[in-house]
Amino acid sequence: MKKLFISLAMVFGLTSSAFAQTEFGVFNHVSAGVGVGILTGGTIELAAPITKYVAVRAGYNFIPNLKLKTDLELPLDEVPKGYTLNVPDEVEVEGKLSMSTGHLLFDIYPFGTGLHLTAGAYFGSEKLVSVYNTQDGILQDVYDYNHRRGNYAPVPDSYGMIGLELGDYLVEPDQDGNAEASIKVNSFRPYLGIGFGRAVPAKHRLAVTFDMGVQFWGSPGVYVQDKKLDKSDIEGDGGDALKTLSKITVCPVLSLKLVGRIF
């Protein structure tokens, strides 16, 4: 029994020493991590070293799609007398926020310690916010009226188009009777940041890492039926809102993760 304890102690000592002297080579170790972040949500991630001074990380950041329903008005009082549109005065719409992303990042350890610089990119849906009618095809009569089709062919051109009133925006339906407005950014978003801790722990199986930086997501644009609006399309406060929105070109990132070396 004594010999067994001595043998186990020797094995434990050798193993601990190996952990403490982990050498980083090209993908010779792999770690997994889970964490949370501001504007990135929950994160799952795999990482591997390339050298002692560089590591690569790939992961997915999940934020549940937030949805909100409301009613938007249709300006039916602008329809000339004698014409009836088979649509309600108010149409239920749903707004959805989509923020989930994937990422591929490279950590650079200039001093060989846990302090690192990070460069890479996040990938996600180009539509950050979408607003659309919940009942499919409910605005078919509005499209026919706007395009002077069927029973609405005689409507004089002096009468303008109608659509859902979303603030200062007029959201016109498509030929299927559906309307959508969205805010879009780049689906490919370069990232630069700084952090503390190694994505692949060197001395222990488990470690905690912290990262902060920014995603560069380009100038957000407001789209109606995939047509980008500019300042000339909007009057009043809407133009000021679009001008302000177009200046928000970066998204801050703060994240905290627990990482564990698999081998």
Task: Give the per-residue pLDDT at 152.
Answer: 94
Distances (CA, A) of 110 to 20, 27, 116, 131: 20, 19, 7, 46
For 167, residues 6+ apart whose C-beta sits below 8 A from its C-beta are: 237, 238, 241
Count how many residues are written for the chain: 263
At 93, the amino acid letter reads V
Summarize pLDDT for 47-72 with one digit per residue, the tens: 999 999 999 999 999 999 889 999 98
Task: Give the per-residue pLDDT at 129.
Answer: 87
Task: Give the per-residue pLDDT at 11.
Answer: 36
* Cα distance between residue 36 and residue 140, in whole Å: 44
Task: Give the per-residue pLDDT at 58.
Answer: 98
Taking residue 11's Cβ as centre, other Cβ atoms within 10 Å add up to: 10
* Cα distance between residue 228 and residue 222, in whole Å: 6
pLDDT < 70 regions, the chain: 1-21, 167, 231-246
Task: Give the per-residue pLDDT at 14.
Answer: 36
How many angstroms separate the first and last alpha carbons of the chain? 31
* Cα distance between residue 108 and residue 147, in whole Å: 58
